[in-house]
Amino acid sequence: GILLIYNACITEIHAQTVSTENTAQTGQEAQSVIVEPKSKCDTSAFKHIEGQSGCQSEHNQLQDSKGMRKDTHLTIKDAQMPQKSQTKEQNQSMKNNELKTSVTENCDTTEYCRKEADTKKANTKTFNTNSKGESDKAITQQPEKNTEQKSESVTSVNQEDNDTGVMPKKERFVVYQCHGHCAGWGDRTRSIIIAYLIALLMKRSFILDITDPCSLDGVLVPNKVNWARRLPNGLSIVDVEHYVNTLPSKPFADLISQDKDLNDIFPEDVVTIKSPIAIVEQFARNPRHHKVLASLGYDMSRFTQCRMYAIFYDEIFKLSPKLQHELDIFISKSKIQEGGQLICAQLRMGGPYIKGDMKFNDMEDLTVVWDYIKQCITPDTTVFITSDANEVRQQAKKIFSKRWIDHEGFSSHIGSGERELRCKGQRKTILDFHSLALCDSLIVSTGTYGQLAAYRRQQGFNDFHIFSKKKIH
């Protein structure tokens, strides 16, 4: 599955390249970019490499304009994605900073300015809810020419309009719920972004209810939308998966393909989602949903899983201040802001390192990865290895010695094994996920964790490889 998605995203890159080149020929601004590799490792004779040549970019990329939104009066804000400093040496800056574009090329995090049902286009009123669940009213100013408006929250909350005396509509919610058996961080975040997308389409408030293996307190905090709220009591609730299972052979994809408002399908106060029940393209194909999303300012010509995952993730999450500080230290050690090269690998081991989990790789299988990384090393290279097995990190530390960098903490898989150990490793699992977005060269095991981390890289699938069946693809 990961190889198919990878190929689909590469196809999207080429399509975007052709589209932007055609735009440039019509007189609009566009810039053709060749992404150059930092390392020059010769993998032509490396028998374990299949497909791409290691440490070399195979795609000419187009520098995309900032912002996903077409409407100039809607807010366009710089992405909450890892950015490399522009203070690099001159001979490295073009390689390592501005020109790294791909599946997530300039996937700017965009704030969502909800248009209320108002006859006045210029003046809209948006109501936000703070972390305590209290309501604050923020009135958007009359837009000035060439001025962008800003909204603190992505999802709007229906409150009373004190100016008109109109009684408020009852606030309704879409909730991602994880109380157990939620799989790993990759699958969880796939579910989260779909729940978030549904909240946008239904014009509802979005909440995360995560207790397994433990809460996200101290790890992640709300970014553009306040998901850290508690549901009021006395609300009607529908579990989407349970509802779909009661239907005669109707998958959720059939429901979202109907020309029908999702609020008519799910009129309850709370819609609960627990798994990745769809992909973003399925919503975009529906003319009704397509129209709603376009009205929110999203570029529907590029509304794909490859692009929207990174955008939605960074609208929802940011690291807690403490973890962001740790990530800043990691960036400093990697020297990527000074033109250094960061080579990374995400190595899923499973059993016996994770009790009760299936086996993915053996320790002896990793020789392929170590040999690959060794021949890619240059004088300014650092190496980061993340794994669900602490033994893998220890071996990497011995092999790469002074080049090795890491985050302190316990390695685990938050969806497999004993709950206490999963909770112990959750902090590092998420911090490692954010760190993988910084890697110049990235090797991942099969599965969603590494693949989705690649979506958040500035260079996307450039110098990206999959480690499977003792080979690097």
What pTM does this model have?
Answer: 0.71
CA distance 357 to 417: 7
pLDDT of the residue at 118: 33
CA distance 70 to 294: 9
Instruction: Assign residue 184 a region (left: φ > 0; alpha: ψ between -120 and 50; beta: otherwise).
Output: beta
> At which residue do the structure tokens 């990374």 appear?
344
pLDDT of the residue at 386: 98
Grouped pLDDT means (10 residues each) for the chain, 473 residues: 52 43 37 38 42 33 29 28 41 36 30 30 32 32 33 37 55 96 94 97 97 96 97 94 71 84 95 91 94 94 93 98 98 94 96 82 94 96 96 96 95 91 95 98 95 92 93 93
CA distance 19 to 17: 5
Q: Which two tokens stand for residue 286?
A: 């529906």
List domains and CATH numbers for the chain.
Answer: 2-36+59-98 (no CATH), 125-319 (no CATH), 321-472 (3.40.50)
pLDDT of the residue at 421: 92
Query: Cα 35 to the chain's mean position, in Å?
Result: 22
pLDDT of the residue at 313: 98
